[in-house]
Amino acid sequence: MSENGGPMIVLEDVSKWFGDFQALKGVDLSVDRQEVVVVCGPSGSGKSTMIRCINRLEKHDRGRIVVDGIELSDDLRDIQEVRREVGMVFQQFNLFPHMTVLENVTLAPRQVRRSPKQQAREKAMELLERVRIPEQANKYPGQLSGGQQQRAAIARALAMGPKIMLFDEPTSALDPEMIKEVLEVMEELAKSGMTMIVVSHEMGFARAVADRMAFMAEGEIVEVGPPEHFFTNPQEERTKQFLAQIL
């Protein structure tokens, strides 16, 4: 494991096919330590596929992906190693419905890290405190609101002490009044120095938090740049059109 100051995540010429459909067409991206990158783009443009490749939920067919000095290959141990360092938050939360919130959060530390129960619980309560739902610890996911579920999912992802957090449209499945509570938690996380890649269309959030913006279309990264340039002076025609539609 390299602890040097090199980039945290490197994607080089990454391509991915689903059957005959090419979802990623030679994507290049490098994310520095403690950097927050917000990815936007029309649906079907490959945003989700890209971040799902980073923790090997999808297998890329060509190119290289290096996470904190570990290259993703078919070696199962490398994949497990990377997954332990990368937390992921899904659009549909994907909390385990048969476990309480606390059990959801302690599952990975107990099973993967073999942490003692008490220690895992204390850590979990700390995290639930941080996402502001400590009082929900012993409820089941089905008993929570969407916003609370998504914050529980963030706590679960943080429980393994990841160096990187991936967010796959974390607020798309939420009612409008719950979006804010989730974004606030993510904002604090960004300020604490977490390396993050966020797929989102919340442009207010992006302006406030992103170090860089990336725009994807048709499986390619069309434009990357700091938010001030990206929003006020986009270089590419496709970016302009897209921003005109959503802003």
Partner 1 sequence: MRRWAFQVAFLFAVVVVLLYLYENVTDNLRRLGITTDFRYLRQPAGFAIPDSDFRSSQTLFDAVLVGVQNTAKVSLLGILLASILGVVVGVARLSTNWLVRRAAAAYVETFRNIPVLIIILFWYLGVVLRLPPIGEAFEVLDLVVVSNRGLVVPWFDRVGAAGLFLVFVVLGVVAATVVGVWRRRRLERKGEPARVLLWSGGALLLALAVGYFAAGRPWVFETPERGELATSGGLRLSPEYAALLIGLTLYTASHIAEIVRGAILAVPRGQTEAANALGLSGFQRLRNVVLPQALRIAIPPVANQYLNLVKNSSLGVAISYYEVTKITRVSIAQAAPAVQAILLLMAAYLVFSLAIAAITNFANRRLALKGR
Partner 2 sequence: MATRVDTLEPLPSPEPERPSARRLSPSEWARENLFGSKLDAVLTVAFALLLAWALYRVGRFVFADARWEVIDRNITNLMVARFPRDELWRIWAALFVLAASLGFGAGAAATSRRRDLEEGRAAPPGRTEVLRRAGPVVALVAVLLWFAGSLEATILTLGVAAVAAGAYLGGRRVRWRAARFAPIVLGGIVIAFLIVAAFGGVGWDNWGGLLLTLFLAVAGILISFPLGVLLALGRRSSLPAVRVVCVAYIELVRGVPLIALLFMGAFMIGFFLPPGVDRPSLVTRALIALVLFTAAYVAEIVRGGLQSVPRAQIEAAQALGLSPLRVTGLIVLPQALRNVIPGLVGQFISLYKDTSLVFIVGLTDLLGVAENITKQPDFLAQGLIVETLLFASVIYWTGSYWMSRESQRLERRLGLGER
For partner 1, the binding residues (CB under 8 A) are: 55-57, 80, 83-84, 86-88, 90, 92, 94-98, 107-108, 111-112, 114-119, 139-140, 142-143, 153, 156-157, 160
Q: Taking the CB of residue 204, how many other CB atoms lie within 10 A of it?
A: 9
Does residue number 18 form part of the binding site for partner 2 (CB under 8 A)? yes
Q: Taking the CB of residue 97, how many other CB atoms lie within 10 A of it?
A: 10
Q: Is 30 exposed, middle or buried (0-12, 13-18, 19+ CB in 10 A)?
A: middle
Q: Which is nearer to partner 2, 6 or 44 (CB)?
A: 44
Give which of partner 2, partner 1, none residue 241 binds (C-beta under 5 to 8 Å, depending on kind). none
Q: Single out the residue of 57, 60, 78 nearest to residue 13, CA to CA.
A: 60
Looking at residue 104, its amino acid is N
Does residue number 17 form part of the binding site for partner 2 (CB under 8 A)? yes
Q: Single out the residue of 181, 158, 156 nearest to residue 171, CA to CA.
A: 181
Q: Which range of residues in 9-17, 63-71, 126-134, 160-168 is near partner 2 by CB under 8 A?
A: 9-17
Does residue number 20 form part of the binding site for partner 2 (CB under 8 A)? yes
d(CA 239, CA 40): 10
As given in the structure block, the two tokens for residue 98 are 């048969």
Backbone torsions φ then ψ of 228, nearest 5 degrees: -60, -40
Q: Single out the residue of 237, 235, 218 nearest to residue 41, CA to CA.
A: 218
Does residue number 76 form part of the binding site for partner 2 (CB under 8 A)? yes
Q: Is 177 exposed, middle or buried (0-12, 13-18, 19+ CB in 10 A)?
A: exposed
Q: Which is nearer to partner 2, 72 or 127 (CB)?
A: 72
Instruction: Identify residues 121-160 at the interface with partner 2 (CB under 8 A).
Output: none
Q: Which is nearer to partner 1, 165 or 213 (CB)?
A: 165
Nearest approach in angstroms of CB 146 to partner 1 is 11
Nearest approach in angstroms of CB 60 to partner 2 is 10
Q: Which is nearer to partner 2, 61 or 188 (CB)?
A: 61
Does residue number 61 form part of the binding site for partner 2 (CB under 8 A)? yes
For partner 2, the binding residues (CB under 8 A) are 15-20, 22, 61-62, 76
